[in-house]
C-alpha cells in the first residue's frame, strides 16, 4: 500500500508524512489552550493539548502546521482513515436530503440499512435486530436494559479491568476508579465485578481463568440473579488485554446454561480493527448481543446494539429510542464505512499492519527490558511497560515515551489500569512507510529513557 492518498475533500493537499515545525504544542495551540482553560472545565482534559485543524488518512495537522502520524485514530474511531472520500460523499449527500426527522416519529431507510449490515456482519447466523444509539455508553445502557427486560432479572456481571463508559450505569460497570469514578457516585446497583483473564499477570489458562470468574459469580451473586454478562473480547481502556484461549467460550457456555445474556462490548475491538468485523470471531464465540460504536461511521456519532431477535424484541413498543439515535447523516456514513471495508478489502489491511508492527514491537522488547509484554490482534496491538525484571507497572516510562513521541510528530495513546500500556490502533489506511517511521521514533524514545 502506498502512502499517497487522494481525496475530493479540501484535505487533499495533506501529504502523508510527519512534519514537526514548532515546539509541541506550538504557539497557536498554546493560545487556544489558554482560551479553552477559561471556558472548558478541567474535568475534560486532553492527552496532548495541540489543537487540530485538519486531518487526512493517518495524518492529523495542528493549527501550527505540525503533522502527526496518528497511531490512535481518536481511540479507534477513524478506522478507515481521516476525511475518507466515501464517508464525506455519503454524509454530504445525506446533509442535502434531511438531517433529522427522528426515527421513532417517522422512519427512514438509512437506519434500516445499518441494522441490516450489522445483522450481516456480527457473528451468528440467527435472526438479529439492532437498536441504534448515539454513543458507546448509550449502547451499553440499552443492552443492559434489554437483557433485564428479556430475562426478568436484574444482575449485571462485568470483568475486572473493563471499561464501559461514563454514564451512571456504565461508570458502575467500569473498573478503574481514577479518573472515571472517583467522587462521582453513588453508582447504579446490581453490578458485579468478577476477575478476568489477564495472561501476562495471572498466568492462568483460559479454562482456569474462566473457572475463577464463574466461581466468583456463583458464590457472590448466584447465576439465577444475573440478566447478563458484559465482556470486551479484547479489553480496550484496560490495556488491550487479550484473554487466554478458551476463556470467552467457557464464559459463554456458562451463560447459555444459566439463561444469562452474553454481551460482547465490541465498541473498541469491533468494526474491522482486528482483521475480523468483530473480535469475538477470533475467540470462537457468538455473543447473544454485540455492541458497536467508535469505528462504525468514520467519526460521526452512532452506536448499535445488535442481538438475537427474540431478545431484542423483549422491549414493548416505545421502550427504546432517543432524539438523535440513529441520526440519518451518521447512518449514511456508517453505510459508507461498511461498503469501504468490503470494496477495499480493509480486513486484510489490519493483518498487514500487524505483520509490520508486531515483529517491530517484539524486536523492541528484545532491546528494551522495560517492555514486559507485546499483545493484541490486527491493528489493535499494545506493549505493557514494567520495571525491568519484574511485572511491576511502569507508568512513568509510558508518560516519557508518549511525550517523546508527541515532540517528534507521533501520536501515541496510553491505556491500562496502571497507565502502563501503550496501545497502537492506527487507521487501516496507514501505509508501511509511515508505520516504519513511527517505529523508528518509538525506538529513539526508548533509547532516550
CB of 439 to ligand PLZ, least distance (A): 24
What is the smallest separation between the CB atom of 293 and ligand PLZ, expressed in angstroms?
A: 5
Least separation in angstroms between residue 303's CB and ligand PLZ is 6
How far CA 115 is from CA of 123, 436, 441, in Å, comes to: 14, 38, 42
> What is the C-alpha separation between 274 and 297, in angstroms, rounded?
17
3-state secondary structure of 382: strand
Residue nearest ligand PLZ by beta-carbon distance = 136
For 296, which DSSP code?
G
The phi, psi pair for 324, rounded to 5°, reads -90, 0
Query: Is the Cβ of residue 241 or residue 370 nearer to ligand PLZ in the bound state?
Result: 241
Closer Cβ to ligand PLZ, 179 or 203, answer by number: 179
CA separation for the pair 418, 424 (Å, rounded): 17
Cβ proximity to ligand PLZ: between 25 and 301 the closer is 301
Instruction: Give the nearer residue to ligand PLZ in terms of CB position, either 305 or 441.
Output: 305
Phi-psi region of 376 (alpha: psi -120 to 50; beta: other; left: phi over 0): left
Q: In the complex with ligand PLZ, which residue's Cβ is closer, 46 or 224?
A: 46
Q: Where does this chain bind ligand PLZ (CB under 6 A)? A: 75, 135-137, 140, 163-166, 232, 236-237, 265, 267-268, 293
| Minimum distance from residue 138 beta carbon to ligand PLZ (Å) | 7
Q: How many CB atoms lie within 10 A of CB 263?
A: 30
Which set of grid coordinates corresponds to residue 105? 416519529
Q: How far is the CB of 170 from ligand PLZ (least distance, A)?
A: 7
Q: Minimal CA–CA distance to 164: which of 248, 264, 261?
A: 264
**Sheet strands side by side (includes 67-70):** 52-56, 59-62, 67-70, 410-411
Report phi then psi at 60, rounded to 5: -115, 140
Nearer to ligand PLZ, 64 or 265 (CB): 265
Shortest separation between residue 45's beta carbon and ligand PLZ, angstroms: 9
Amino acid at each position: 500500500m502506498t502512502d499517497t492518498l487522494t481525496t475530493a475533500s479540501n484535505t487533499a493537499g495533506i501529504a502523508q508524512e510527519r512534519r514537526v515545525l514548532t515546539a509541541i504544542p506550538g504557539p497557536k495551540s498554546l493560545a487556544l489552550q489558554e482560551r479553552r482553560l477559561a471556558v472548558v472545565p478541567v474535568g475534560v482534559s486532553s492527552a496532548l493539548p495541540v489543537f487540530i485543524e485538519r486531518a487526512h488518512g493517518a495524518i492529523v495537522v495542528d493549527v501550527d502546521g505540525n503533522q502527526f502520524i496518528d497511531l490512535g485514530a481518536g481511540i479507534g474511531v477513524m478506522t478507515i482513515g481521516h476525511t475518507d472520500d466515501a464517508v464525506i460523499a455519503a454524509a454530504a449527500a445525506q446533509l442535502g436530503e434531511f438531517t433529522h426527522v427522528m426515527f421513532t416519529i417517522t422512519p427512514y431507510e438509512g437506519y434500516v440499512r445499518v441494522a441490516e449490515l450489522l445483522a450481516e456482519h456480527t457473528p451468528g447466523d440467527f435472526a438479529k435486530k439492532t437498536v441504534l444509539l448515539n454513543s458507546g455508553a448509550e449502547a451499553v445502557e440499552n443492552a443492559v436494559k434489554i437483557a433485564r427486560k428479556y430475562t426478568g432479572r436484574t444482575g449485571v456481571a462485568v470483568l475486572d479491568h473493563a471499561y464501559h463508559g461514563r454514564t451512571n450505569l456504565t461508570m458502575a460497570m467500569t473498573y478503574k476508579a481514577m479518573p472515571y469514578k472517583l467522587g462521582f457516585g453513588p453508582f447504579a446497583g446490581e453490578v458485579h465485578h468478577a476477575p478476568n483473564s489477564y495472561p501476562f499477570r495471572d498466568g492462568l489458562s483460559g479454562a482456569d481463568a474462566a473457572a475463577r470468574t464463574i466461581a466468583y459469580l456463583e458464590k457472590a451473586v448466584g447465576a439465577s440473579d444475573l440478566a447478563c454478562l458484559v465482556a470486551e473480547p479484547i479489553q480496550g481502556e484496560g490495556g488491550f488485554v487479550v484473554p487466554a484461549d478458551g476463556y470467552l467460550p467457557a464464559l459463554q457456555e456458562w451463560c447459555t446454561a444459566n439463561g444469562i445474556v452474553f454481551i460482547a462490548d465490541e465498541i473498541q475491538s469491533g468494526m474491522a480493527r482486528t482483521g475480523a468485523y468483530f473480535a469475538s470471531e477470533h475467540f470462537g464465540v457468538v455473543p447473544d448481543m454485540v455492541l458497536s460504536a467508535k469505528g462504525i461511521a468514520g467519526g460521526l456519532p452512532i452506536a448499535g446494539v445488535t442481538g438475537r431477535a427474540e431478545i431484542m424484541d423483549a422491549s414493548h413498543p416505545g421502550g427504546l429510542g432517543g432524539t438523535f439515535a440513529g441520526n440519518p447523516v451518521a447512518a449514511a456514513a456508517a453505510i459508507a464505512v461498511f461498503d469501504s471495508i468490503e470494496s477495499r478489502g480493509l480486513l486484510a489491511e489490519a493483518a498487514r499492519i500487524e505483520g509490520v508492527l508486531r515483529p517491530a514491537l517484539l524486536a523492541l522488547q528484545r532491546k528494551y527490558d522495560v517492555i514486559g509484554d507485546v499483545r493484541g490482534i490486527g491493528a489493535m496491538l499494545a506493549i505493557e511497560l514494567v520495571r525491568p525484571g519484574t511485572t511491576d507497572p511502569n507508568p512513568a516510562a509510558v508518560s516519557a515515551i508518549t511525550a517523546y513521541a508527541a515532540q517528534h510528530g507521533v501520536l501515541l495513546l496510553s491505556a491500562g489500569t496502571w497507565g502502563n500500556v501503550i496501545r497502537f490502533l492506527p487507521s487501516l489506511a496507514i501505509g508501511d512507510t509511515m508505520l516504519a517511521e513511527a517505529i523508528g521514533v518509538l525506538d529513539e524514545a526508548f533509547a532516550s529513557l
